[in-house]
A and B are shown apart, each in its own frame.
Chain A
Amino acid sequence: MRAARISGDAIYRSVLGGAAAMVFLVVALIAYESVRGAGLSLRAFGLGFLTSTDWDPVAQKFGALPYVYGTLVSSAIALVLALPLGIGSAVYLAELAPRRVGSIVSFVIELLAAIPSIVYGVWGFFVLAPFLRTWIEPWLIAHLGFLPLFRGFPFGIGMLNAGIILSVMVVPTIVSISREVLLSTPRSLREAALALGATRSEAIGVALDAAKPGILGAVILALGRALGETMAVTMVIGNTNRISPSLLDPGASMASIIANEFTEATSPLYISALIEIALVLFAITIVVNGAARALVHWTTGGRRPAAAGV
Chain B
Amino acid sequence: MTGTAVASLAPQSGHLKRRAILNRVVLAACYAAAAVVVLPLALILWHLIVMGASGLSLSFFLNMPKPVGELGGGMANAIVGTLILVGLGALVAVPIGVAAGIYLAESGRNQFASVVRYTAELLSGVPSIVVGVATYGLLVIPMGGFSALAGGVALSILMLPTIIRSTEEVVRLVPQSYREAALALGAPRWKVTQQVVVPAARAGIVTASMLAVARAAGETAPLLFTALGNRFWSVALTKPIASLPVFIFDYARAPYDDWNRQAWTGALVLVLLVTLISALLRLTVRRVATR
Contacts and interface: CB of A to CB of B under 8 A. Distances in A.
Given A88-B34, A122-B263, A282-B126, A22 B100 contact: yes
Contact of B133 (A20, A109, A225, A275): A275
Given A17-B112, A286-B125, A115 B130 contact: no
Contacts of A171: 37
A88 B133 contact: no
A33 B137 contact: yes
Given A23-B160, A121-B252, A108 B129 contact: no
A74 interface: no
Most-contacted residue by chain A among B1, B41, B124 (CB, 10 A): B41
A16 B134 contact: no
A281 B34 contact: no
Given A199-B19, A225-B125, 19 more contacts: A12-B193, A17-B103, A19-B100, A27-B119, A85-B33, A85-B37, A88-B29, A92-B31, A92-B34, A114-B214, A116-B219, A121-B252, A123-B48, A221-B125, A227-B127, A230-B128, A231-B245, A259-B129, A304-B169
Interface string A107-122: 0110110111111111
B37 A274 contact: no
A247 interface: no
Contacts of B20: 199
Interface stretch (B63-71, B173-181, B270-278, B282-290): B270-278
B100 A23 contact: yes
A153 to B, nearest CB: 21
Interface string A49-89: 00000000000000000000000000000000000111111
A200 B1 contact: yes
Interface string B107-137: 1000011001011111111111111011011
Interface of B: 1-3, 6, 19-20, 22-23, 26-27, 29-34, 36-38, 40-41, 43-44, 47-48, 51, 95-97, 99-100, 102-104, 106-107, 112-113, 116, 118-131, 133-134, 136-138, 157, 160-161, 164-165, 169, 188-191, 193-194, 214-215, 217-221, 224-225, 228, 245, 248-249, 252-253, 260, 263-264, 267, 270-271, 274-275, 278
Contact of A30 (B131, B191, B214, B249): B131
Contact of A118 (B97, B189, B220): B220
Interface of A: 5, 8-9, 11-13, 15-17, 19-24, 26-27, 29-30, 33-34, 36-37, 84-89, 91-93, 95-97, 105, 108-109, 111-112, 114-123, 125-127, 168, 171, 175, 194, 198-204, 221, 224-225, 227-231, 234-235, 255, 258-259, 262-263, 274-275, 278, 281-282, 285-286, 288-290, 293, 304, 306, 310
A310 B124 CA distance: 7
Contacts of A168: 40
Given A168-B40, A199-B3, A117 B220 contact: yes
Nearest to B113: A20
B116 A285 contact: no
B90 to A, nearest CB: 15
A105 B38 contact: yes
B126 A228 contact: yes
B41 to A, nearest CB: 5
A278 B222 CA distance: 12
A290 B33 contact: no
Contacts of B119: 23-24, 27
Contact of A21 (B30, B38, B116, B191): B116
B215 A114 contact: yes
A97 to B, nearest CB: 8
Contact of B96 (A22, A36, A122): A22
A37 B48 CA distance: 39
Contact of A26 (B31, B41, B157, B214): B157
A118 B37 contact: no
A225 to B, nearest CB: 8
Nearest to B6: A199
B264 A263 contact: no
Given A12-B194, A23-B100, A109-B38, A255 B47 contact: no
B27 to A, nearest CB: 6
A89 B2 contact: no
Contacts of A202: 19, 23
A278 B129 contact: yes
Given A12-B189, A224-B125, A259-B224, A30 B130 contact: yes
B129 A258 contact: yes
B127 A282 contact: yes
A281 B134 CA distance: 12
8 contacts: A16-B102, A87-B33, A116-B219, A199-B2, A202-B23, A235-B253, A263-B225, A286-B125
A275 B103 CA distance: 34
